[in-house]
Chains A and B, each alone.
Chain A
């Protein structure tokens, strides 16, 4: 059973860069078919997909955040990380690290699923 755990600062000043790490246990971050993803949830709001890094190191980001976002993989630590620059109050949110897996169902075929989530970490942006 894969488990994920976010770590990082709970408070960031405006204009600073947020750095979060996600430690994966119970499985290798390089095992095939997985997309290591960041999702956030702003206070009282819905869920926003931020982006992913694949097991091969390919990344894809939400265009709304792409210019400020870096997602990287550290295979030696079995971790992946997020860096979001130029933080503002609008970036205050719970940040989740998530495994999105590619799966196969005999009756349906292939499908994607956010099947393992970290507990989330609240990041506030304030001076």
Chain B
């Protein structure tokens, strides 16, 4: 299985901050990465696919980058509704696997 390792596991930030979350795959995954946002008690919601493509309707303050084994989700100017847990997911090889999550908390 491809292991997806996210860092940090949690972070504290304030409204207006720039937040960066990293995801490292145990092998190259050719940009086949999705980033999800999950709020407490809700199902995850996909934000970005193909490492850097913003899903329709997702605010432009979210962006993704990366290649090979290393990928990044950036939130520019964090908004109150962005406090949540974020997951990366690879769809290069079965079984599809997820990172362990990064919780973004209010400082």
A residues contacting B by CB (< 8 A) are 45-49, 60, 62-64, 96, 103, 105, 107-108, 111-115, 117-120
Interface with A: B12-20, B58-66, B91-99, which one?
B91-99
Say yes or no: B53 contacts A46, CB within 8 Å: no
Q: How far is the CA of A105 from the CA of B95 in the complex (A)?
A: 24
Chain B residues, Cβ within 8 Å of A48:
98
New A-B pairs, 5, CB < 8 Å, besides A105-B50, A111-B53: A105-B53, A107-B53, A113-B34, A113-B49, A113-B55
B95 near A49: Cβ-Cβ < 8 Å: yes
B43 touches A47 (CB 8 A): no
Please report which residues of chain B, range 16-63, place their CB below 8 angstroms from some CB of chain A when the two chains form the complex: 32, 34, 36, 42-46, 49-50, 53, 55
- 29 cross-chain CB contacts under 8 A: A46-B87, A46-B99, A46-B100, A46-B101, A47-B36, A47-B98, A49-B95, A49-B98, A60-B94, A62-B95, A96-B43, A105-B50, A107-B53, A108-B53, A111-B32, A111-B49, A111-B50, A111-B53, A112-B32, A112-B91, A113-B34, A113-B49, A114-B34, A114-B46, A115-B46, A117-B43, A117-B45, A119-B42, A120-B43
Interface of chain A, main secondary structure: strand
B72 within 8 A of A: no
B62 to chain A, nearest CB (A): 15
Nearest chain B CB to A7 CB, angstrom units: 15
